Amino acid sequence: MSQRIGIEVGADPGPGVLHQLSGVIAHEQGNILSIEIVEEKSPETVTYFEIDIPGDTQQLVRGLQALPVVHRVTLVQTMQKVFGKRIIIVGGGAQVGQVALGAITEADRHNIRGEHISIDTIPLVGEQQLAEAVRAAGRLPRVKALVLAGSLMGGEIEIAVREVRAQGLLVVSLNMAGSVPDAADLVVTDPVQAGVMTVMAVADTAKFTVERLKRRVF
């Protein structure tokens, strides 16, 4: 049976190092789920991996330590275990703050019951900037839901919303002007309630699913 592990590797900087590290992981039948170069500068580059591995983790550690370019190898808790599911809130500053208030309060209620949900916010203005943020949310690890908090969004943002929804990302929108509410999974007028409902939608400890709702605008 495979297990998910987090592993941090300090190694020489330079081309080809990542290839060597991934070669050892592949040799041990490890499946790389995510990778991040945490720090890239002389004299050491720090790379973080999350891996599903069916075998002995210590054998993987020894294999990595045997590489001449490697300085140190450390087993760490996975980001999934520490920070869990992520909810991203983007839009106007005032609306973002109110959505975050509801989301953080509700996440705290579930997290003390064993859930792990983290809330990220970024106030942004401008159609292109918001569209880029929506698309980027689909590329971020562990993101389960995106909340669009503003008073007017449409155009390229709507197209981006439809794209990330097609990838399986839940999108919640405030009830605002523009075409984004038409493209979202769920539309909520009150920003605090939008934050609460988004957390409830992604929490395993909540008895709430968007699919069971008989309407999508509240």
Domain ranges of the chain: 3-78, 83-212
CATH no. for 3-78: 3.30.70.260
Q: Specify burial of residue 163 (Cβ count, 10 A radius: 0-12, 13-18, 19+).
A: middle
Which residue is associated with the tokens 């040799």? 27
Q: Give the integer Cα–Cα distance in Å for 97 and 123.
A: 9
- What does pTM read for this prediction? 0.81
CATH no. for 83-212: 3.40.50.10550
CA distances (Å), origin 206, targets 90, 107, 121, 161: 24, 11, 22, 25
* 3-state percent breakdown (helix, strand, coil) of the chain, nearest 5: 40, 30, 30
Q: Tens of pLDDT along the chain (218 residues)?
A: 778 899 999 998 888 889 999 999 998 888 998 888 887 777 888 999 999 988 788 989 999 999 999 999 999 988 888 888 999 999 988 899 999 999 999 999 999 988 899 999 999 988 999 999 999 998 888 899 999 998 889 899 999 999 999 999 999 999 999 999 999 999 999 999 999 999 988 888 877 777 666 667 78
Angle between helices 57-65 and 17-27 (to 10 degrees): 150
Q: Which amino acid is at 202?
A: V
* Close Cβ partners of 171 (under 8 Å, ≥ 6 residues apart): 134, 145, 146, 147, 148, 161, 164, 165, 183, 184, 185, 186
Tokens of 85: 């599911």
